[in-house]
Amino acid sequence: MHAGNLIGALSKLQPNLQTRGVGGERMRAQGMKLVAHVKDINFMGFWEVLRNIRTIRRLFRTVEADIVQWQPDAVVLVDYPGFNLRLAPFLKQLGIRIFYYISPQVWAWKKGRVKKIQAFVDRMFVILPFEKVFYANEGVEVDFVGHPLLDEISRLQMGNATLSNPGSPKTIALLPGSRKQEIKRMLPLMLELSNQYTEHQFIIAGAPSQSAEFYQQIIGIHPVELRMNQTYQVLAQADLAIVTSGTATLETALFGVPQVVCYKGAWLSYLIGKQLVQVKYISLVNLILDRPAVTELIQHDYHIDRLREEVERLMQPSIRESLQQDYTELHRRLGDGGASAETARLILQRM
């Protein structure tokens, strides 16, 4: 989504722009030629990556060959450090300008990767306010461009007058993630909650990377509604949300929806991650505010009793009012919007 918006912003400033790369439908819609589709390489967790290592290596060779053949003027790396930071030295050898948009979470784990970024990346464009300080302290050329979600959500709200629906019944949004393995782990417990709050409307925000049939196999006879590829529309009418940790926690906060943040991974991946990850929180909301504004139910804490307890707490007016104050502060820290346009301007300025 963010890379697609960046391509659109670059194209406005450089009308004859040509782009090729690895991405999805949002990037294709902006005119990018797909060398590979993200849906075929969307792996998460140590074990999942190991199981698919041959696919990843094959893609890596394909991308390298395409870059050599096409000879681009610049390459924009977007997140995905396990792949992109292995590609960066190869790009440097070819003398290609290397920009990095949306930082990998090196501030959370594998901080040694900062040395690679310093050595091979010409400029970082970061979207979280604390990242600029982190990289500047490490001697990396960096710009804070604001968070692109501000523009995405603002554009949707302005373009659709039916998003807000204050007269609807009490609605709980379920955001179980976007990858198959995390949806399989997270959604069943969320569905169990729907059986205990029968007076509420439950809506699952289905990820565009999955099929409706996949969700229906898990949903079975539970009294919930599935809406595919309508996450923002679902959040716009929700009274509270159960959210799998990830960017969705920030999206939920920007819509002003009280939330419980949840995460449960494969046991081996969790044990390894617990030893390696060096952050106080897993949700972007808490990380940016540097305090526990939203509750996080991680691994063994993610069970029906704790989940129900947090839902009851979020139904209290005083808790909801306090959380809205935290969300206001969060919005202020994320900047004034225009991240895609600013990043595009800075990239072309340095070409």
Q: Are residues 317 and 341 in the same domain?
A: no
Q: Are residues 190 and 142 in the same domain?
A: no
Q: Are residues 329 and 341 in the same domain?
A: no
Q: Are residues 143 and 185 in the same domain?
A: no
- The letter for the amino acid at 43 is F
Q: Are residues 110 and 208 in the same domain?
A: no
pLDDT value for 86: 92
Residue 326: which residues within 8 A CB-CB, separation 6 or more? 285, 289, 291, 293, 294
- For 239, which DSSP code? S
- The letter for the amino acid at 42 is N
Q: Which of 157-171, 176-190, 277-291 has the weakest average pLDDT?
A: 157-171
**Closest-CA residue to 284 (of 266, 259, 315, 316):** 259
Q: Are residues 224 and 323 in the same domain?
A: yes
pLDDT value for 181: 87
DSSP H or E segment with residue 201: strand 201-206
pLDDT at 153 over 60: yes
In whole angstroms, how far apart are CA 335 and each of 74, 129, 147, 148, 210? 27, 8, 7, 10, 32
pLDDT value for 321: 93
pLDDT value for 113: 86
Higher pLDDT residue, 277 or 105?
Answer: 105
pLDDT value for 52: 65
Q: What is the mean pLDDT of the chain?
A: 88
Q: What are the φ and ψ backbone dihedral angles of 230, each rounded to 5 degrees?
A: -135, 40
Q: Are residues 115 and 212 in the same domain?
A: no
Give just the sign of the alpha carbon dihedral 22, 24, 27, 31. positive
Q: How many CB atoms are closer than 10 A to CB 165? A: 12
The domain total for the chain is: 2
Percent of the chain at pLDDT exceeding 90 = 71
Q: Are residues 137 and 157 in the same domain?
A: no
pLDDT band per the 50, 70, 90 thresholds, residue 54 = confident
pLDDT value for 36: 87
**Closest-CA residue to 120 (of 99, 145, 144):** 99
Higher pLDDT residue, 73 or 57?
Answer: 73
pLDDT band per the 50, 70, 90 thresholds, residue 168 = very low
Q: Are residues 223 and 307 in the same domain?
A: yes
Percentages helix, strand, coil for the chain (3-state, rounded to 5) are 50, 15, 35
pLDDT at 165 over 50: no
Mean pLDDT along residues 18-38: 93
Residue 351: which residues within 8 A CB-CB, separation 6 or more? 73, 74, 97
Higher pLDDT residue, 110 or 24?
Answer: 24
Mean pLDDT along residues 213-240: 95
**Closest-CA residue to 74 (of 30, 22, 121):** 121
pLDDT at 292 over 70: yes
pLDDT at 186 over 50: yes
Q: Are residues 6 and 130 in the same domain?
A: yes
Q: Give the separation between CA 247 and CA 145, rounded to whole angstroms.
A: 17
Q: Are residues 129 and 161 in the same domain?
A: no
Higher pLDDT residue, 111 or 18?
Answer: 18
Query: Cα dihedral angle (240, 244, 247, 252), rounded to 10 degrees?
Result: 0
Strand order in the sheet with 259-263: 225-228, 201-206, 171-175, 240-244, 259-263, 295-298
pLDDT at 34 over 90: yes
CATH, residue 232: 3.40.50.2000
* Structure tokens given for 222: 């539970």
pLDDT value for 157: 64
Q: Give the separation between CA 117 and CA 85, rounded to whole angstroms.
A: 7
User: Which domain range does residue 108 map to?
Assistant: 2-147+337-349
Q: Are residues 108 and 189 in the same domain?
A: no
Mean pLDDT along residues 98-119: 86
pLDDT band per the 50, 70, 90 thresholds, residue 278 = low
